[in-house]
């Protein structure tokens, strides 16, 4: 493949700089890719600002047509995009393909939404209407764990609302997003979508840029706080989808053999690099040993390897920084609990860690208290469900959580008191484009997806008329 380009003002151009993108399965360079300068970032924002007046005045049907065309081109190029995604991110090719098709489906979903005028009062003396107006230039900043699907949490809603976009993928996973920019260059009007790549040096510049009216950011809580601070001077609108330390509470009436595969999938999908992965399991003492054994068997049986190889179930960690962090957590867990599966670093190139189960560990250990974002799962014993709920809630995070029970009423009574933006019952990590998603506490501000997520890309304007 020829070297990829940035998309700025409808034109494909080289970066003023370049950078290497590493395949985390081999530690070899996938390719050199363009890296934008500060001047190119400014140029992209200026293009988006210039394109905004015309795009915001287009009929919503025209904007929907563009979203549909983007979905079509994603789907038509799914094989190429998925291969790039696996090479830069590490996930198995089947998962990458699912992510690509998922991104197309999210674009299609937003073609079914509208922004109708809501009549609040239509009485004899007055008429009051609520309108949803576009904001302007949106800075969309996407992390490295799901480059395309998380892009599709932001871009279609932003465009449907009449905004223009400057999209910045993560420094370690820019390739599939840049290629998408190339594919849509002739679909979207110039300046409406701009795609740049950086080496973790332009996020703050984009956030603070005076012509950016909203920042939609997905990433760590620490970086989210910096985004919020950068947006504060101009009181920019922000949506922050941040870290989580999701707890799964497994009650004593659960069949471990039935629940374990679902919990394992919820914890280890994408090698645990999921914001809403199961990060902690609280298991009742009655089923604790059996659940630990089932999870350990699943971990031992998992096939890890290069995502391009057939049969691979789990790929590597995406980057060396995260790889080193997870290795440190595992070393500490050897002293804080008992490793019953995994804990092994394969002697091979790549950032591979076998799925690891740690039992006989409890709150206060780093592995329990912190977000590991990797393939290691602590399982904590409890006797009283109320105690388990209190411990699950005793965290600054509040992204997701789950309750597992054969008694739905019993599970629901706990779920409604779990302090998280989403609570699942007898499942975990399920998302859909029509279901709003957002975090509580330090796991985020605002929501994405659904009608509520679309509204976040608008300014409410009330028009009140006397009669």
| pLDDT digits 0-9 by tens, 282-301 | 999 999 999 999 999 999 99
How far apart CA 249 and CA 419 sit, in angstroms, is 13
Query: pLDDT > 70: what percent of the chain?
Result: 100
How far apart CA 148 and CA 165 sit, in angstroms, is 15
- pLDDT score, position 344: 87
* Residue 200 in tokens: 């973790």
With respect to residue 430, please indicate whether it lies within any of the assigned structural domains.
no
Q: Residue 1: which pLDDT band, with cuts at 50, 70 and 90?
A: low
In 3D, which of 361, 375, 370, 304 has the Cα closest to residue 333? 361
Task: Yes or no: say if 377 and 361 are a contact pair by the CB < 8 Å rule.
Answer: no
- pLDDT score, position 3: 86
Note whether 389 and 312 are same-domain residues: yes
Q: Which residue has the tokens 């179930």?
A: 313
Q: Can you give the residue range of the structural domain that contains 10?
A: 6-242+441-466
**Torsion angle of alpha carbons 185, 103, 176, 9, nearest 10°?**
20
Which DSSP letter does residue 328 get? Answer: H
With respect to residue 176, please indicate whether it lies within any of the assigned structural domains.
yes
- pLDDT score, position 448: 98
How far apart CA 215 and CA 137 sit, in angstroms, is 9
Note whether 391 and 373 are same-domain residues: yes
* Residue 261 in tokens: 């595969």
In 3D, which of 274, 244, 249, 253 has the Cα closest to residue 263? 249
Handedness of CA 296, 297, 298, 300 (dihedral sign): positive
Mean pLDDT over residues 313-324, rounded?
98
Note whether 251 and 238 are same-domain residues: no
Active site residues: 241, 275
**Residue 2 CB partners (closer than 8 Å, separation 6+):** none
Note whether 46 and 179 are same-domain residues: yes
With respect to residue 434, please indicate whether it lies within any of the assigned structural domains.
no
How far apart CA 302 and CA 280 sit, in angstroms, is 20
Note whether 184 and 38 are same-domain residues: yes
The secondary structure of 48-102 as a DSSP string is: HHHHHHHHHHS-HHHHHHHHHHHHHHHHHTHHHHHHHHHHHH---HHHHHHHHHH
With respect to residue 139, please indicate whether it lies within any of the assigned structural domains.
yes
- pLDDT score, position 161: 98
Q: CATH number, domain at 356?
A: 3.40.309.10
Note whether 297 and 418 are same-domain residues: yes
Mean pLDDT over residues 232-246, rounded?
96
How far apart CA 241 and CA 334 sit, in angstroms, is 32
**Residue 112 CB partners (closer than 8 Å, separation 6+):** none
Mean pLDDT over residues 166-177, rounded?
98
Total of domains in the chain: 2
The alpha-helical segments, DSSP class H, found in 310-443 are: 320-336, 366-369, 385-393, 408-415
End-to-end CA distance of the chain: 64
pLDDT higher than threshold 80 for residue 2: no
Note whether 30 and 175 are same-domain residues: yes
With respect to residue 435, please indicate whether it lies within any of the assigned structural domains.
no
* Residue 42 in tokens: 């400014």
Task: Yes or no: say if 304 and 91 are a contact pair by the CB < 8 Å rule.
Answer: no
Mean pLDDT over residues 136-161, rounded?
98
Note whether 319 and 450 are same-domain residues: no
Query: pLDDT > 90: what percent of the chain?
Result: 98
Note whether 251 and 290 are same-domain residues: yes
For the segment 7-64, what is each residue's pLDDT rounded down to a tens digit? 999 999 999 999 999 999 999 999 999 999 999 999 999 999 999 999 999 999 999 9
Which DSSP letter does residue 304 get? Answer: B
How far apart CA 417 and CA 355 sit, in angstroms, is 31
Q: Judging by beta carbons within 10 Å of its beta carbon (0-12, 13-18, 19+), is residue 327 exposed, middle or buried?
A: middle
Which DSSP letter does residue 136 get? Answer: S
Note whether 30 and 168 are same-domain residues: yes
Note whether 367 and 461 are same-domain residues: no
With respect to residue 227, please indicate whether it lies within any of the assigned structural domains.
yes
For the segment 56-104, what is each residue's pLDDT rounded down to a tens digit? 999 999 999 999 999 999 999 999 999 999 999 999 999 999 999 999 9
Q: Residue 400: which pLDDT band, with cuts at 50, 70 and 90?
A: very high
17 to each of 3, 41, 48, 191, 345, how far by Cα in Å? 13, 12, 22, 21, 35
What does pLDDT average to over the chain?
97
Q: From the CB of residue 367, how many other CB atoms can be counted at a distance below 10 Å?
A: 21
Note whether 206 and 313 are same-domain residues: no
How far apart CA 251 and CA 385 sit, in angstroms, is 7
For the segment 209-227, what is each residue's pLDDT rounded down to a tens digit? 999 999 999 999 999 999 9
Q: CATH number, domain at 62?
A: 3.40.605.10
């Amino acid at each position: 493949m020829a070297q990829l380009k940035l998309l700025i003002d409808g034109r494909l151009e080289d970066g003023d700089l370049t950078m290497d993108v590493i395949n985390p399965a081999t530690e070899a360079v996938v390719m050199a890719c363009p890296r934008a300068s500060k001047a190119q970032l400014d140029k992209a924002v200026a293009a988006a600002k210039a394109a905004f007046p015309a795009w915001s005045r287009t009929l919503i049907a025209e904007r929907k047509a563009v979203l549909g065309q983007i979905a079509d081109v994603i789907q038509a190029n799914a094989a190429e995009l998925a291969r790039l995604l696996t090479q830069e991110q590490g996930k198995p090719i089947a998962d990458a393909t699912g992510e690509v098709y998922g991104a197309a489906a999210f674009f299609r979903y937003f073609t079914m939404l509208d922004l109708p005028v809501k009549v609040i009062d239509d009485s004899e003396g007055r008429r009051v209407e609520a309108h949803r107006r576009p904001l302007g230039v949106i800075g969309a900043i996407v992390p490295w764990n799901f480059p395309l699907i998380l892009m599709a949490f932001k871009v279609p809603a932003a465009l449907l609302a009449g905004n223009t976009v400057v999209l910045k993928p993560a420094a370690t996973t820019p390739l599939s997003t840049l290629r998408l920019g190339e594919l849509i260059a002739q679909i979207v009007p110039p300046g409406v979508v701009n795609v740049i790549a950086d080496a973790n040096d332009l996020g703050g510049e984009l956030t603070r840029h005076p012509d950016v009216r909203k920042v939609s950011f997905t990433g760590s809580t620490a970086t989210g706080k910096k985004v919020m601070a950068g947006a504060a001077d101009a009181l920019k609108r922000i949506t922050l989808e941040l870290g989580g330390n999701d707890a799964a509470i497994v009650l004593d009436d659960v069949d471990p053999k039935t629940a374990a595969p679902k919990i394992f999938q919820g914890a280890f999908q994408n090698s645990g690099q999921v914001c809403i992965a199961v990060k902690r399991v609280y298991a009742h003492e009655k089923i604790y040993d059996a659940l630990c054994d089932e999870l350990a068997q699943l971990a031992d049986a998992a096939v890890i390897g290069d995502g391009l190889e057939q049969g691979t179930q789990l790929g590597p960690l995406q980057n060396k920084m995260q790889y080193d962090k997870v290795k440190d957590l595992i070393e500490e867990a050897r002293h804080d609990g008992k490793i019953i599966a995994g804990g092994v670093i394969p002697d091979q190139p790549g950032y591979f860690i076998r799925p690891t189960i740690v039992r006989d560990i409890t709150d206060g250990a780093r592995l329990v208290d912190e977000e590991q974002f990797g393939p290691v799962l602590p399982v904590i014993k409890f006797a009283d469900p109320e105690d388990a709920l209190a411990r699950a809630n005793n965290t600054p995070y509040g992204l997701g959580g789950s309750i597992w029970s054969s008694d739905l009423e019993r599970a629901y009574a706990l779920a409604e008191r779990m302090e998280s933006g989403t609570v699942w019952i007898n499942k975990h990590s399920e998302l859909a484009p029509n279901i709003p998603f957002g975090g509580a506490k330090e796991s985020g501000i605002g929501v994405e997806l659904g009608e509520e997520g679309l509204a976040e890309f608008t300014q409410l304007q009330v028009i009140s008329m006397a009669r």
